Structure 1
Amino acid sequence: MGGQIILSHGSDSGPDATKVSVLAAFAESLGWKTQRPDYRSDDLPGYAGAVDPRVARLLAAIDGLDAPPVLVGSSMGAFVSGLASLQRPVAGLFLLATPSGIPGYRQEFDLSPSVPTLLYHGWQDDVCPPEGILAFASRRRLPLMMVDDDHRLGDSVERIVEQFGLFLAQLAPAA
């Protein structure tokens, strides 16, 4: 295997957050190169004000690579990963606890329809209620894993890693 992965943390989090750290370590053990941008300074203006600076930081990271990366994101990190896929080629999207919109932001969640994607969400998510991503996945006919967990997906980390491994394996020929 191999290739490059950019993992984007959620708001009120950082590049050393549990999920992105575990997924980065797992991917590296399979021979992937990873990077985790630090969006904490971008998040200071609040949720709606953080989107454009986060997207700009993510696009700069993509532009610094020699091949389209896999984008992994949690919550706000998932939202900006999807938006970035509309502007740059990416090899895949693995998105956790994705909001269908950011209150006050001009655009709803979207992603490039040509990119292999897996959405992962908790039924008990009270930050990003599941109805929005269920409707999005249904309209796009995207794979969506729903688990009995909350926004942090803390009880599902092992299952997320398993799904991530399967997702990366399907991308291996293109990576």
Structure 2
Amino acid sequence: MRGHIILSHGSDSGPDATKVSVLAGLAESLGWTTVRPDYREDDARGYAGSIDPRLAQLARAIADSPAPPVLVGSSMGAFVSGLASLDAPVAGLFLLALPTTIPGYPRDFALRPGVPSFLVHGYADDVCPLDEALAFARAHAIPALLVQDDHRLGATLPDIEAEFLRFLGNLA
């Protein structure tokens, strides 16, 4: 076994969402174990109201991991993955369509310094502003892949898969 990965879906989505499903399958084909928490009940509380319940669920998944896991998150899943890294050791963060703030939530996005991290963001993301995500990545020296895509990142999934393979390869 290479390691363990926890993949967190975005709001208005689920654990069988395209991006997290494809990335989980790819990781499993390389010998990683994966889990995809289901945050749909938490998401019924609204964007800001879902964060603390999502963090609690993610903390339990991290505690159940055989070793510090890699956290993969899309949108709201990326936001909580970074915050979760502040409270528990993680092996890496692969962040997709990152929001750096959630209206109504008192904390901005943050992550544990020194954790290997990577950002993928679409130029045409109309949900999570590119400039804010890129400014965070720049300020924290996080490598990034910027793609000609929207928030869902569906048109560039092969590029994301290739970058995810590189990211995992660098961790192994």
What's the TM-score, normalizing by structure 1? 0.97
**CA distance in 2: counterparts of 1:109 and 1:77, whole angstroms:** 11
- What secondary structure is seen at the aligned counterpart in 2 of 1:104? coil
- What secondary structure is seen at the aligned counterpart in 2 of 1:118? strand
Partner of 1:72: 72
Partner of 2:123: 123
Partner of 1:42: 42
| Aligned AA (2:59) | L
| Aligned AA (1:4) | H
Alignment pair present for 1:144 and 2:153:
no
- What secondary structure is seen at the aligned counterpart in 2 of 1:90? coil
Is the Cα–Cα contact under 8 Å of residues 6 and 71 in structure 2 kept in the other structure? yes
**CA distance in 1: counterparts of 2:123 and 2:91, whole angstroms:** 28
In the TM superposition, structure 1's runs of 4+ consecutive aligned residues that sit over 6 Å from their partners are: none
Partner of 2:86: 86
- What secondary structure is seen at the aligned counterpart in 1 of 2:43? coil
- What secondary structure is seen at the aligned counterpart in 1 of 2:156? helix
| Aligned AA (1:161) | E
- The unaligned stretches of length 5 or more in structure 2 are none
- What secondary structure is seen at the aligned counterpart in 1 of 2:124? coil
What is the Cα deviation at residue 116 of structure 1? 0.1
| 1:98-137 to 2 correspondences below 5 Å | 98-137=98-137
Alignment pair present for 1:53 and 2:89:
no
Residue deviations 1:115-172 (CA, integer Å, cap 9, x gap): 0000000010000010111111111111111111000001011110100000000000
What's the TM-score, normalizing by structure 2? 0.99
Is the Cα–Cα contact under 8 Å of residues 4 and 66 in structure 2 kept in the other structure? no
Partner of 1:63: 63
**CA distance in 2: counterparts of 1:101 and 1:116, whole angstroms:** 21
C-alpha RMSD of matched pairs (Å)? 0.7
Identity between Structure 1 and Structure 2 (%): 65
Residue deviations 1:54-78 (CA, integer Å, cap 9, x gap): 0110000000112000000000000
**CA distance in 2: counterparts of 1:146 and 1:159, whole angstroms:** 10
- The unaligned stretches of length 5 or more in structure 1 are none
- What secondary structure is seen at the aligned counterpart in 2 of 1:155? coil
**CA distance in 1: counterparts of 2:134 and 2:119, whole angstroms:** 10
**CA distance in 2: counterparts of 1:159 and 1:34, whole angstroms:** 21
**CA distance in 1: counterparts of 2:164 and 2:135, whole angstroms:** 23
